[in-house]
Amino acid sequence: MHTIFSDGSVAPNIRVTEAKKDHVDVIATTEHLEYQSWKDDIPNPDRNRSFQIATDFAKNTEVMVINGSEITRSMPPGHANAIFVKDANKLLIDDPMKVFKEARRQDAFIFWNHPHWISQSPDAEIPLDTMHINLMEQGLLEGIEVVNDTTYSDEGLQLALDHNLTILGTSDIHGIVDWQYKIPFGGHRPVTLVFAIEKTPSSLKHALRKGRTVVWYQDNLIGRHENLVPLINACLSSKDAVYIKNSTVVNVKLTNNADAPYTLRNISRYNFYTDVDVFTINPHGEKILDIKIGEKKRKFTMQFEVLNALTAPATHPVITILIKPKF
């Protein structure tokens, strides 16, 4: 995210306050190295100050702040974020390949930002260049933004799967999060869920390097099958299943313990007495279904395609829910 230390509109402490309000665990300050739009008014000789100010302000909060920099070049290579940098000042290097190498020397995690950005790619496709391939082969590009702010790229998701890049989604916020994502009206900022063992920078970086992420974007969840399906299985379950009196119809509640809604399409052998095949379970909500089984069974399974989840372009994972009705 950006602040007045590059081309953002607010001070670093506001980023921390916004994150606190939204219960975001971790943020990274990623000021542009090469683009400081307020530099005549706010000189910024030390490129770590945005991180330091945010870190001081985040003391005694749950918000963890990571030091980063946005390498801001024309295409190729375009823009990239290096996060977990130790000294952003040492990244002020002209040669683009050498900047990436210095970020690597500092053991940063480096990812390609908005590869589909129309300012650098008018057709919003990804202008993959030999420079990008070289960066990937040298381990200097480890992830890719499939989501940036209010944009999403199918090609980015496919590129992540093809080149084993970590799937990321960021706000890249310059203005005010509440305004940009209409949070007071039920919106949410794009976030990357990182499946880290501990809430520490080293554990977080390890999980990012292993590709253990799911992106939450406009109430959709985007990630590798092995990360996304366990997440959905941990969110959805059935309870209070019972046969309706003198019938072979099972009344059951599906519950959702997540902040995201789920839109499901029934692809089971059984269908419903009350509903069509597609329905939504609200965040922290439940959905009552009457399922026509045709006989009395102690248990059965239902299969649902999760329409607001993506494991590849236009590919929705299928989950199975076990139901054990009472007679």
Where do contacts with Zn ion occur on this chain (CB under 5 A)? 79, 113
Q: Distance between CA atoms of 79 and 73, rounded to whole angstroms?
A: 6
Q: Which is nearer to Zn ion, 49 or 174 (CB)?
A: 174
Q: Which is nearer to Zn ion, 50 or 113 (CB)?
A: 113
Shortest Å, Cβ 306 to Zn ion: 31
Q: Which is nearer to Zn ion, 47 or 316 (CB)?
A: 47
> In this structure, are residues 256 and 283 in contact, taking their beta carbons and an 8 Å threshold?
yes
Tokens coding 250: 């099972």
- What angle (nearest 5°) sits at the alpha carbon of residue 37, between those of residues 35 and 42? 115
Q: Distance between CA atoms of 79 and 135, rounded to whole angstroms?
A: 13
* Alpha carbon 171 to its chain's center: 9
- Which residue's C-beta sits nearest to Zn ion? 79
Shortest Å, Cβ 70 to Zn ion: 5
Q: Which is nearer to Zn ion, 88 or 319 (CB)?
A: 88
> In this structure, are residues 96 and 61 in contact, taking their beta carbons and an 8 Å threshold?
no
Shortest Å, Cβ 174 to Zn ion: 10
Q: Which is nearer to Zn ion, 28 or 221 (CB)?
A: 28
Cα distances (angstroms) measured from residue 128 to each of 43, 46, 73, 135, 254: 35, 33, 15, 11, 43
> In this structure, are residues 248 and 293 in contact, taking their beta carbons and an 8 Å threshold?
yes
**Nearest Cα to Cα of residue 256 among 242, 226, 236, 231:** 236
Shortest Å, Cβ 172 to Zn ion: 6
Q: Which is nearer to Zn ion, 15 or 79 (CB)?
A: 79
Secondary structure of residue 112 in the 3-state scheme = strand
Shortest Å, Cβ 6 to Zn ion: 10
13-17, long-range: CB < 8 A, 24+ apart:
13/53, 13/54, 13/57, 14/176, 15/54, 15/173, 16/54, 16/57, 16/58, 16/61, 16/63, 16/65, 17/57
Phi, psi of 159 (to 5 degrees): -60, -40
Shortest Å, Cβ 51 to Zn ion: 17
Q: Which is nearer to Zn ion, 113 or 171 (CB)?
A: 113
Compute the radius of gyration of the chain from its Cα atoms: 23
Q: Which is nearer to Zn ion, 22 or 34 (CB)?
A: 34
Shortest Å, Cβ 148 to Zn ion: 8
Shortest Å, Cβ 131 to Zn ion: 17
